[in-house]
Chain A
Amino acid sequence: MFGQANVLAQGQAEFPPSVGDFYLPSILPWGAENSYWFTKITAMVWVAVGILIIFFLVSYRNPQLVPTKKQWFAESIYGFVRNNIAVDMIGHAGVRFAPYFTTLFCFILLTNFFAIVPFFQISPNSHIAFPAFLAVISYVMFNYVGIRHHGFVKYFKNSLVPPAPWFILPLLIPIELFSTFIVRPFSLAVRLFANMFAGHMLLLVFTLGGFAMISANAWLAPVSVLSWTMTIALTFLEFLVICLQAYVFTVLTASYVQGALADEH
């Protein structure tokens, strides 16, 4: 974790950055080659889970009618997801999904946010595995919910057969199958992963690029400073992307659940 700073100070960081920079060294066993069982990424995921569990437990352990600051904060997050995502997208039936959506939203927001927290500085979501698994959960959930609500045959009939004359159905059903059951999990996972991956890459390029230029030629120092200024600006852009992607992932999951619950057209 602190190795980064030393590497930067000694000008040893490689430029341009590569995908290899996303594979951080093993922590347990310490310094092992090609062992990814427990790395900084793993640690960050557990830290995020821990922070969320402890925060929500502590802030709701002794609920007051007039909320304390912590309770107000926790309730605002839950209220936001419940009212602006769950109820807004799904309607009444959405309230029972609000706890899951809140968990999802908070987890993605926090793990994304690690991308710009000093000393964390990389998001677990910049590895495809984490967004992919979240997408699998969403996928299984909206299908399960739909099948339970409509029954197996009616659910697939609802989602595969659009309201259209019979002679264009052969044209439309493959498109429905593709966009509903194949594209959805991929687009959920890839959207989050690609945003976090690209964000980290951008920050790396501008930070390391500054060091590369200043160590290549002292006359390039002003450009290096410009590059680092860009890093700061991009960090703010990153913050926007972080919030937006957490929101989009939750909204789309809600939208899929809504689609699965919708009555036939």
Chain B
Amino acid sequence: MAGDQKPPNTGGSGDVPSGAGQGWTALSYLIGGMLVWGFIGWLVDRWLDTGGIATGIGVVLGMAGGIILVVRRLGTPT
């Protein structure tokens, strides 16, 4: 079956996971971002007694981070 071989991986942007894998990766970045930085913000909240502000900032930062990661890891190559 030499005829139906795919071109070998050349590295770089050709290595993004295909299809379903890509979808789950994107989802886990978006949710993971909010959870991780939300948790860190919550810890800061407990530490400084800021009453939830740090958690909010953390969640927003995490969302931004998740979106950056999706764009950088899965987006179209520049």
- By a CB distance below 8 angstroms, the chain B residues around A259 are 17, 21, 25
Q: Is B44 engaged at the interface, CB distance under 8 Å to the other chain?
A: no
Contact of A265 with B13 at beta-carbon distance under 8 Å, contacts A92-B8, A175-B33, A178-B32 already known: yes
- Helix, strand, loop or mixed for chain B's interface? helix
A179 touches B73 (CB 8 A): no
A265 touches B15 (CB 8 A): yes
A258–B9 alpha-carbon span in the complex (Å): 11
Q: Is B42 engaged at the interface, CB distance under 8 Å to the other chain?
A: no
A92 touches B5 (CB 8 A): yes
Q: Is A43 engaged at the interface, CB distance under 8 Å to the other chain?
A: no
Q: Is A187 engaged at the interface, CB distance under 8 Å to the other chain?
A: yes
B28 touches A252 (CB 8 A): no
Please give the number of chain A residues whose Cβ is less than 8 angstroms from any Cβ of chain B in the complex. Answer: 33
A168 touches B15 (CB 8 A): no
- Shortest distance between the CB of B3 and any CB in chain A (Å): 13
- By a CB distance below 8 angstroms, the chain B residues around A87 are 6
A92 touches B6 (CB 8 A): yes
- Helix, strand, loop or mixed for chain A's interface? helix
A89 touches B21 (CB 8 A): yes
Q: Which of B6, B13, B37 contacts A174 (CB 8 A)?
A: B37
- Shortest distance between the CB of A80 and any CB in chain B (Å): 15
- Shortest distance between the CB of A183 and any CB in chain B (Å): 5
B24 touches A175 (CB 8 A): no
B73 touches A263 (CB 8 A): no
- By a CB distance below 8 angstroms, the chain B residues around A187 are 24, 28
- Shortest distance between the CB of B42 and any CB in chain A (Å): 14
Q: Which positions in A face B, CB cutoff 8 Å?
A: 87-89, 91-93, 162-164, 168, 171-172, 174-179, 183-184, 187, 248, 251-252, 254-256, 258-259, 262-265
13 residue pairs A–B, Cβ–Cβ below 8 Å:
A92-B9, A162-B72, A174-B40, A175-B29, A175-B32, A177-B36, A178-B35, A178-B36, A179-B28, A187-B28, A255-B20, A259-B21, A263-B11
